[in-house]
Structure 1
């Protein structure tokens, strides 16, 4: 016959330990289910927020694209406007040069057509000398004008080149500043790295 200890006490003790372990396991399962439910709800909320954020980002990108197109249209309009203004200035300059040239030709023609055959021999000779001096003077002035005009054009072209160089340098600096600001913005909004918790309770 087995002893009372062996037959009753040890199995009762074992049953009590099993019951405690069962209760502990049930509690653990309940906690895990609660934790799982909380994680599921959190995951749902995060997923929803992510969807909303993605949608907001899409809208912001769309608005940015629209604004970019509007700015491009404005810049194209301004470029056309300024080009038209430049064309007007160039046409005015061309017209002034044409009128100036015509004036020179008219004055030269007047001198050449003056009556050199009337009056005394001395009067004719003096008039011819005067006409020759006038024409020589005009030729000299035209040569001086052309030389000054060439210097003026060269100086103007150099200023235009410098202005374009400065504009392009400013545009490069503007793009660099935008790049730096965008990089800083991205650094500020870089998502934190997600690490799943590995602790077990």
Structure 2
């Protein structure tokens, strides 16, 4: 779903309200097939409005039901999220720099606000870094095959104590304070 600039210019004084159901599976296959297996259709409600400075403000909320690959075994894992997004789109890419770093501001692509891309990008940004099936989360044995196996960090340290010692030395070195910063450290302890 795209909102062309020409359509949005009619909504300078009032917001264009929308309620759309998006099927993002094709876009997922193109851009994020390694992160998301599939998505159920996503119902998105919100508004798009042109402001006084000719910027376009997108405000939307949605619930997404996805299937993600397990980060351990690549088995399918259901995952859901509720999200609200607020993004600003500008015609001139140079104007992006005039906004605070914390504000989500993007240049218009092909003179339109692309709702599909906005929703999918926000979903991907919210994906958990570790996805496990119920069995894996409950402590199921780690995967293994012919001549290989996945082991925990604790097992690795038991098998390779020299690696543990090197890690301790590196942590000690990091913990030592640079003498040039000692006075600054004392200042913050007060």
The structure, 1 or 2, with the larger RCO (C-alpha pairs under 8 Å, 6+ apart) is 2
Q: Please give the TM-score of this superposition, normalised by the length of structure 2.
A: 0.16
Higher normalized strand content (fraction of residues): 2
Higher normalized helix content (fraction of residues): 1
Larger radius of gyration: 1
Q: Please give the TM-score of this superposition, normalised by the length of structure 1.
A: 0.16
